[in-house]
Amino acid sequence: MGNYLGQGTLSFYNAPSVTSYAAAVGPKEGEGPLADCFDYIAENADLGEATWEASESALQKKAFRTALQKGGLSENDISFIFAGDLLNQCTSSAYGLRDFSIPFIGLFGACSTMAESLAVASVFVESGLANNAVALTSSHFCAAERQFRFPVNYGGQRTPTAQWTVTGAGCAVVSPHGQPPYVKAVTFGKINDMGVKDANNMGAAMSGAAYETISTHLANTKTNINSYDLIVTGDLGKVGSGLLFDLFNKDKVDISKVHKDCGIMIYDLEGQDVHSGGSGCGCSASVLCGYILQEIAQLKLKNVLFVATGALMSPTMIQQGESIPSVAHAVHIAAQ
């Protein structure tokens, strides 16, 4: 069993393995720089379904089934499935996973769900109370637009700071210690509110949470930024990443040396006209499960701190004039 290092940080003694993983994405993501890393690229964003919400469920199921297949597992081998998404009541997860007979634990962490689900799944496996635990999440551009802004049919214009919700799903299966990648430690973040009210600038809203969780994790595990070859945030985008660097510069730490952001990695910012970069649960999920975990398994990356950030607002709260509180969860994934 692991240790509680305080302030949300747990270090794992047994270090569970992420035994198999898969990423399923939409056509736009399939034209981006990481296209070759994804297990499945949909030809059409609707995946043949009648509604965008059903399309997102289909994408999640695709990622899940592919991860099972890659790991030589069947749904009977899975002890628990931890899943969530951006939609009201997490419907794309619930409606997709009703096809499976697996104990379901629904999570809401907004865009931090991949880190949150991976961390919780790892805790269950580390404690010896689960054999194979699945972490699963997704987002879909059109479903998210309908949820948070306007249906795409409305034809509204996007601002320069806006991010593009990734149509993508990522699934990671966590099992007792075996082959790399290993989950060595996690930090569950606290809710952080920078007072940002602009729903078109979520990168700025989330940068404070990322800074706080990363700093807490480094302090509690007694590591520094040089202990990692990559500290990757979920979707701060260009604007949010810049703010993150500023926050760390105040501590005289230059995090830009090891930092990357999934929202900037998944799209060609210039060529694909995505303004400030990608966002959504599926952003960090597909980059983690399509690219980063593979790099660690092949020992090209040794120590990665995966920090997905989530903006915990709802359209109702924004209309009531509230600001956007955020949370960030960190997972240390290593090659040995």
Partner 1 sequence: MFMDFLWAFIIGGLWCVIGQVLIDLTKLTPARILVSFVVLGVFLGATRLYDPVVELGGAGATVPLVGFGYALAKGVRLAVMRDGLIGILTGGLTAAACGITAVMMFALMVSLAFKRGDKMS
- Residue 277 Cβ, how far from partner 1 at the closest point, in Å? 14
* Site size with partner 1, rule: CB under 8 A: 22
Is the link from the previous residue into 181 a cis peptide, with omega within 30 of 0? yes
| Position 141 contacts partner 1 (CB under 8 A) | yes
Structure tokens at 11: 């270090």
Write each residue from 30 to 69 as x if it is in contact with partner 1 (CB under 8 A), else as -, in one continuous string: --------------xxx-----------------------
- Contact by Cβ (8 Å): 232, 306: yes
Is 272 an interacting residue with respect to partner 1 (CB under 8 A)? Answer: yes
Distances (CA, A) of 131 to 165, 254, 303, 327: 33, 40, 24, 28
Question: Which run of H or E residues covers position 164?
Answer: strand 164-165
Q: Which of 116-124, 145-153, 170-178, 210-218 is the region at the interface with partner 1 (rule: CB under 8 A)?
A: 145-153
Instruction: Say whether residue 237 binds partner 1 (CB under 8 A).
Output: no
Q: Which of 48, 103, 156, 195 binds partner 1 (CB under 8 A)?
A: 156
Q: Is 27 in the site for partner 1 (CB under 8 A)?
A: yes
Instruction: Say how far residue 49 (Cα) sits from the centre of its chain.
Output: 24
C-alpha distances in Å from residue 251, one per residue of 171, 212, 238, 245: 35, 12, 21, 10
CB of 236 to partner 1, least distance (A): 19
> Interaction with partner 1 in 201-220: which residues (CB under 8 A)?
201
Residues sharing a CB contact under 8 Å with residue 239, sequence separation 6 or more, in sequence order: 161, 201, 203, 204, 276
Q: Which of 36, 317, 31, 335 is nearest to 183 (CA)?
A: 335
Rounded Cα–Cα distance for residues 24 and 17 (Å): 21
**Per-residue x/- track, 168-207, partner 1 (CB under 8 A):** ------------------------------xxxx------
Based on the shown chain and the rule CB under 8 A, indicate whether residue 25 belongs to the binding site for partner 1. no
User: Of the two residues 28 and 259, which places its CB atom closer to partner 1 in the complex?
Assistant: 28
Residues lying near partner 1 in the complex (CB under 8 A) are found at 26-28, 44-46, 141-142, 145, 152-153, 156-157, 159-160, 198-201, 272-274
